[in-house]
Amino acid sequence: MTNAKILTLIGGISRDSLNKKLFNSIQELSLKDLQFESFDISKLPFFSQDLEMDPPDSVTSFKERIRETDALLLITPEYNRSFPGVLKNAIDWGSRPYGHNLWEKKPAAILGASPGNIGTFGAQHHLRQVLAYLNMYVLGQPEFYFNAKDAFDVEGKLINSKTKELLLQFFEEFYEHISKFNRPDHNIKEYISHGLEDSPFI
């Protein structure tokens, strides 16, 4: 596939967020066949069942963006060994009301930046549990745990060439991952009906 549309949710909403800088660095890589779009999840109200059947415009707009996208990229900081509440809130909105989970079978990938040595390891693994429950196809490898201390210059530009190389490898794998689940012949039920020996996924 070409020009895969990637909806990016950034869990760091502070003005000088490392994860916003990471997203800007990804965009500057000009990755072939990957079109990144972000959504400001700080504008979403707190999820409530009182609102889910008649949501405000911000939620309606968010859900439309989910429907239009080919895959999801989540960029998360780590707070107390987990991902931030604002990111969980966005995920909850996309999964509701019950029976209308817009994340269903969407390819996804997770990365994140932190000044700490383990670089959002805990947050990413907690987030994987949530996405697995929502039946998303989450990229398993490569993992990307980014200790972003001194990685950006005063203008927020990524200055670490090794990190740029790792990002290129990460998104090459992500593109292949997206392509696998968006190709026209991806029909699991058909492969099962013909027997496992015919499946290209083994």
- DSSP line for 82-130: B--HHHHHHHHHHH-STT--TTTT-EEEEEEEESSTTTTHHHHHHHHHH
Q: Pick the residue with more confidence: 107 or 192?
A: 107
Q: Identify the pLDDT of residue 63.
A: 97
Q: Supply the CATH classification number for the domain 4-198.
A: 3.40.50.360
Q: What backbone phi and psi angles, to 5 degrees, belong to 23?
A: -60, -45
Structure-derived torsion over alpha carbons of residues 8, 14, 18, 19, reported in degrees to the nearest 10: -10
**Residue 111 confidence (pLDDT):** 94
Contact 29, 167 (CB under 8 A): yes
pLDDT band at 199 (very low <50, low <70, confident <90, very high): very low
pLDDT of residue 188 exceeding 50, the answer is: no
Cα three-residue angle 100-102-107, rounded to 5 degrees: 145
Model pLDDT for residues 56-105, shown as the tens digit of each residue: 999 999 999 999 999 999 999 988 999 999 999 999 999 999 999 999 99
Q: Is the dihedral of CA 21, 72, 139, 130 positive or negative?
A: positive
Rg (CA), the chain: 17
Which one has a higher pLDDT value, 182 or 20?
A: 20
CB of 90 closer than 8 Å to CB of 11? no
pLDDT value of position 183:
59
Alpha-carbon span 71 to 137, nearest angstrom: 9
Tell me which DSSP letter residue 48 carries.
Answer: -
DSSP summary character for residue 70: S
